[in-house]
A and B are shown apart, each in its own frame.
Chain A
Amino acid sequence: MPAAAPKKCRSDAAAGRAPLMSVRGLGIRFKTSLGVWQATRKIDFDIGAGERVGFVGESGCGKTITGLSILRLLPGNLAGLDGSILFDGTDLVSCSARAMRAIRGRRIAMIFQEPMSALDPVFTVGHQISETLCVHTGASKEEARAKTLEMLRRVGIASPERRIDDYPHQLSGGMRQRVMIAAALICGPQLLIADEPTTALDVTVQAQILELLRELSETSNTALMLITHDLGVVAETCTRMITMYAGEVIEDAPVDDALVRPLHPYTSGLLRSLPHLSPRHGRLPSIPGRVPSIVDMPNGCRFRARCAHAAPGCEAEQELRDAGGGRKVRCWRFRELDLPGALQHAASTPIAAMAGTP
């Protein structure tokens, strides 16, 4: 089935503009007692203004550290950051610490899985949100408070006048995450990095938060980098999906295209292993083997030992190739493979378990 041309999610590049952020050859190395570890390498991707990009992949593939590297918030045992992160004209890898501080929190903001760890328990939520504003914009106390109230209302906190002087422990998990989002968005950033923002929440609350993120991104043209291992979350929130495997980007495509017709065997394997996609009580397809260890990466394609389509030639280094239609894939065989996606078959029967959901 030919992939439909992406409509609403056209990238800046396709529109002839430079993307908001352009990451090239990003690699992260850590010093450990066992030597230097190459945690990620050759990471290339673009994020356009207002675009919502989902980053998926298994535990340990490098999603979080890629997000942290953009704000230069990597842990202290960093051995080196290679490549470039061009954000609206500034290279975040090489810019001064001062330039970075002017961008962090103001033009690029980040939210995490556990809002409690990011909120300071000894300050009221109002203080924490307006603080950001005062530091970055020099707003007066009164201005900042008014803006904070407005922001709390926008993120869906009921009667914000009563909540603004609450301490974080007085709020429920969903409300804390809303406060985090308010603090992240108060300066009107161009890019919001959200690392598993709903993993700790219940599905009914998750639906509220995802809806909020999508709505805020649309109304204020904020780009969203959404890190998750839930493909359903990406499908419902993002316009583009980037799949990572063993420290590399292996596929980059408009969400619907990646779901309907993945080009990389790993993306296809991930989709096929979802219980949604198998008949009830039937056997679930799974990907044999496990992710190679960071200290023992194979040469050539890193997915080779688990790939059902491995062939002579796969032991060669794989580059992220342009596959046309705004898609990229790190597999030299992508043209000959016809891989199944989130539909049972080209007949496009969706998942048994979901057909009846309202």
Chain B
Amino acid sequence: MPLGPDSTQDAIVSVRDLEVRFQTSDRRATVKAVDGVNFDVHRGETFGIIGESGSGKTTIGRALVFLLKPSAGAIRHEGIDPLALPRKRFQSHRRDYQIIFQDPNAALNPRMTILSSVLEPLELARAGTSAERERQAREALDRVGLPQDVGERYPHQLSGGQKQRVVIARALTLKPKLIVCDEVVAALDMSIRGDVLNLFADLQRELGLTYVFITHDLAVVSHISERIAVMYLGRFVELGPTERVSEHPLHPYTQALLSAEPRPLPSHLRQGSRIMLQGEIPSPIDPPSGCRFRTRCPYAQSLCAEQAPDWRELQPDHWVACHFAEHPDFAPN
């Protein structure tokens, strides 16, 4: 069985058969938040992950930067297994792999000045002299487009967009190779979202960064990513180049997601029928047998309940998990 998408390319991260399980709070059941996921992230690309809430996106993101340990499977960073490194090496290795979350307020200490917040990771890493560290921190604030005087201010004196820039600046000071961005623009107003997305693109070009961009916003993910993975109930159901996935989706769930997206277009341009899914995403504690999407899939057959579909490369670089993905009826009209 093939392991995962194109292992030939220069992979900065490769994920094989990843599983992450949690105990529920009453300790009576196990949640398979991530249940057998395979993919590579190529150096310098933006890899988008999309899916409904609870599908396991954040859990994958946290596992990628070793904020949590996989229950099974392997995650390699540039071919090495970070968990096999000696403790000290592991700590310094982790600095190359950063994660940024949705809420900048949770990430910034309200009683610390912006400069101290940005300095914190450098100090923990004991990088250079204190003058050098301050120069690096100010440089990072400058790079994300914040005015000079911001360093002396406190979080409540900044807008949401400015705070998110500070969080990005802080992640940059350690000169990471890869940043996992988890819903980083979700809390921002639409008029400044564009600014922050442009900033990510600029930084990628200037610094050669790689991003894993997690979001439930289709428009955002398809704007910024080279490739998109679609997640449902702990598994990838589709993975491919953005153009293919968003214009010629192979999986019924991707098709439904795309068609459910409300489009800011006048009515005469919104023609076309909508695939209305029934019900909601089932609980990951007791997922459906076989294909996990079958309880909501308009095309489900009896085979779908009996057997989980294989993860297969139906078209070059375009992967899907559906028994009937080559069925002509599935093609969007």
- Decide if A and B are genuine partners: yes
Q: Which A residues have a C-beta under 8 Å from some C-beta of B?
A: 58-59, 172-175, 202-208, 210-211, 229-237, 255-256, 259-260, 269-271, 273-278, 280-281, 283-287, 290, 342-343, 348, 350-351, 353-358
Residues of A within 8 A of B161 (CB): 290
Residues of B within 8 A of A207 (CB): 260, 262, 274, 276-277
Interface flags for B254-298 (1: CB within 8 Å of A; 0: not) read: 011111111111111110111111001100000000000000100
Tell whether B3 is near chain A: CB-to-CB under 8 Å. Answer: no
The total of interchain contacts (Cβ-Cβ below 8 angstroms) comes to: 161
Chain B's closest residue to A284 (CB) is B194
With both chains docked as a complex, state the minimum distance between the C-beta of B33 and any C-beta of chain A, in angstroms: 17
Contact B266 A284 (CB under 8 A): no
**Given A202-B281, A281-B224, A353-B219: A236 and B246 interface contact (C-beta under 8 Å):** no
7 contacting pairs across A/B (C-beta < 8 A): A203-B261, A232-B261, A236-B262, A260-B266, A275-B193, A287-B191, A357-B263
Contact A342 B277 (CB under 8 A): no
Complex Cα distance, B264 from A231, in Å, reads 5
**Given A235-B265, A255-B266, A280-B242: A290 and B194 interface contact (C-beta under 8 Å):** no
Contact B263 A232 (CB under 8 A): yes
Residues of A within 8 A of B268 (CB): 256
Chain B's closest residue to A237 (CB) is B262
Complex Cα distance, B281 from A207, in Å, reads 14
Q: B interface, by DSSP: helix, strand, loop or mixed? A: helix
Residues of A within 8 A of B273 (CB): 358
With both chains docked as a complex, state the minimum distance between the C-beta of A343 and any C-beta of chain B, in angstroms: 8
Residues of B within 8 A of A357 (CB): 246-247, 258-259, 261, 263, 272, 332
Contact A286 B247 (CB under 8 A): no
Residues of A within 8 A of B190 (CB): 58, 229, 231, 270, 273-274
Tell whether B218 is near chain A: CB-to-CB under 8 Å. Answer: yes
Residues of B within 8 A of A233 (CB): 262
**Given A256-B266, A259-B266: A269 and B219 interface contact (C-beta under 8 Å):** no
Residue picked from A175, A205, A270, A276, most chain B C-beta under 10 Å: A276
For residues 225 through 275 of chain B, which have their beta carbon under 8 Å from a beta carbon of chain A? 242-243, 246-248, 255-270, 272-275
Contact A286 B189 (CB under 8 A): no
Chain B's closest residue to A211 (CB) is B276
Q: Which B residues have a C-beta under 8 Å from some C-beta of A?
A: 52-53, 159-161, 189-195, 197-198, 201, 216, 218-220, 222-224, 242-243, 246-248, 255-270, 272-277, 280-281, 296, 332-333
Chain B's closest residue to A276 (CB) is B219
**Given A283-B201, A342-B264, A354-B265: A273 and B258 interface contact (C-beta under 8 Å):** no
Residues of A within 8 A of B247 (CB): 355-357
Complex Cα distance, B198 from A70, in Å, reads 39
With both chains docked as a complex, state the minimum distance between the C-beta of A273 and any C-beta of chain B, in angstroms: 4
Residues of A within 8 A of B262 (CB): 203, 206-207, 210, 230, 232-233, 235-237
**Given A58-B189, A230-B262, A273-B190: A280 and B223 interface contact (C-beta under 8 Å):** yes
Complex Cα distance, B189 from A230, in Å, reads 10
Of B52, B264, B280, the contact of A274 (CB 8 Å cutoff): B264
**Given A173-B280, A204-B52, A210-B262: A353 and B223 interface contact (C-beta under 8 Å):** yes
Contact B248 A356 (CB under 8 A): yes
Chain A's closest residue to B259 (CB) is A358
With both chains docked as a complex, state the minimum distance between the C-beta of A325 and any C-beta of chain B, in angstroms: 15
Of A256, A274, A355, the contact of B219 (CB 8 Å cutoff): A274
Of B194, B224, B274, B332, the contact of A356 (CB 8 Å cutoff): B332
Residues of B within 8 A of A269 (CB): 191
Complex Cα distance, B277 from A256, in Å, reads 27
Residues of B within 8 A of A278 (CB): 223
Complex Cα distance, B222 from A175, in Å, reads 30
Contact A284 B198 (CB under 8 A): yes
